[in-house]
Structure 1
Amino acid sequence: MTKLTVIGAGAWGTALAITARKAGSDVVLWTRHSAHSDLLNTENVNSSYLPDIPLAAGITATSDIRHAAQADILLLVTPAQHARETLYRLKPELEAETILVMCSKGIEQESGRLMSEIMEEIAPSNPHAILSGPNFAAEIARGLPAAATLACRHQELGESLVKAIGLPTFRPYLTDDVIGAQIGGAVKNVLAIACGLVAGGRLGENARAALITRGMAEILRLGEKLGARAETLMGLSGFGDLILCCTSQTSRNFSLGAALGQGDILEEILQERTAVTEGVYTASAICRLAEKFGIEMPICAAVDEILNGGTAVSSAIEDLLARPFRDEKLAGF
């Protein structure tokens, strides 16, 4: 039996632990706090994140990082901005053959690095992969049908991971485009905030459709510069995730944008949340990458200005709408 540990006991980590256990893996769920692991073990439910969904029988929770690291596969599900810290904590305990699967979506705010680049920097000898796609945690935990992109550079590794987490209702599709599998998930976080702003400001469904479409152009533009394949970006981890998170209040990024569009204050929204809203931190990293490569990403730039530049929502929207008319192949918006 495959020994698998999920690092991070939020909603997504818990859903993946349930999925992996159903797939037949021996599963440990790691959480930072011992009080939380005790509750998970005694109550058999993650009442903080998925209160209505019992844990699959056989899942063991722990706050001991050494115990957690003793696994064939580690699913890394802490927030993207904590990935570096988490990997540094894990590194002394890792065996060289332990497989690292990054399941968080984002770009490191300080360095502008992708999650795969951080894994390669800190744990270069370990095999690694990326899991990303249009996946709301509660639906996965309930066993509703879903699919995801599983990216790694070696087919044999990918096939072993599919066996460890794949189910008829959770279908990982393999690719070797590790870069492409990360771009869509990171950028859609920011675009989902933009679509939430449209919804909260009652700007209409036409405006949201335009944002999704032109947002996809921004994903493709950045992906091309970073070496991603267009077909990956148009797949589950790109276009699929974009559609899901730009059309539902279940998305933390969309709901944050909707609250901002209704006039709520960013700091107050974040204070009320137990889960991290990745797009808030990824927005500035994306804009620095766009500047570095000399590409236009005006929607992401507008969101960054609202989140980090002090620009009013109404002013950012006016600036977007004031952009000159251009050929669709060239237009940023």
Structure 2
Amino acid sequence: MSEPRFFELPASVSLKTVAAWADAEIYRGDETLEISEVAPLEDAGAGALVFFDNTAYLNQLEATGAAACLVGKRHREKVPEGVAVLVCSEAYRSWAMVLAHLYPAAMTPKDPLISGVSERAVVDPAAILEENITVEPGAVIGADVEIGSGTVIRANAVIGRGVKIGRDCVIGANCTVQHTVLGNRVCLHPGVCSGQDGFGYAMGPQGHLKVPQVGRVIIQDDVEIGANTTIDRGANRDTVIGEGTKIDNQVQIGHNVVVGRHCVLVSQVGLSGSCTLEDFVAIGGKTGVRGHITIGMGAQVAAVSVVNDDLAAGGRYGGTPAKPVKQWFREVAAVRKLAERGDES
């Protein structure tokens, strides 16, 4: 069978154009040099653009056959002769800006299978759909749903009664959205579940009494949520995801959680009910956060940590339980030394 290419090669552009997109300076090379593709360092050939910002890949940089390289000022002399050099403040961010121009279809998965509303979709007559909406086969849209223009509802997604979806959103295949209000330009990747019951029970010796969950989920503008992530609706107040926040695959967000603006949650993070993340918090993969605590603005938590108490704004934390990283590293070093002494005895 033929080898598929899901994102078509872009038309060639000049090095000068790439520099403008990347907010970079041409340090070495002909501004008319044509760039026809992007590639990793080790696979790059004539016409390819690469980037370099991690010295772990210095060997690949030295051997690259790329036409041009995006690089920070401190690494510009490491780029081999014959490779054009574009100097920028942050190579990875510049790389992202260039890719957005070359491959706009990869930014948001909005390439619909059809145009308009499929005859094989189920749309309640009481739903309100603005113009220029795509609803793919198998999707179900309930009563009193409102969907803004430019939004794509992918195959087999289920939009529950009364849900409000803003403009230019993408609701991925097999998503389930209920008791939720979405802003504009929200992207839910396949399998996201939003607005289901929070995990609320009054526990006791006579059995566990279910507590009705009567809140909502509020997802603000420009949020992107990865595949198979789950967001529980609030118990007695709303679960909120702040604007610009990016959430990876398979994250669990409990009821009444408030996630601030421009936070980053990596795969398999678990946020227990009623915890609060202030703006610009970043949490590494497989980290658990206890309920009813606050992580301050700009704090960063390392992967595979457990957050049991409030964390101050701006700090870097890790471990079980999470603590300032310098303290954590000292404790790890001390345990290692004790283990080594035990081996010697």
Q: Structure 1 or 2: larger strand share?
A: 2
Whichever structure has more helix as a proportion of its residues is: 1
- The TM-score range, normalised by the shorter chain, is under 0.3
TM-score in terms of structure 2 length: 0.25
Give the TM-score of the pair, scaled to structure 1.
0.26
Largest Rg, 1 or 2 = 2
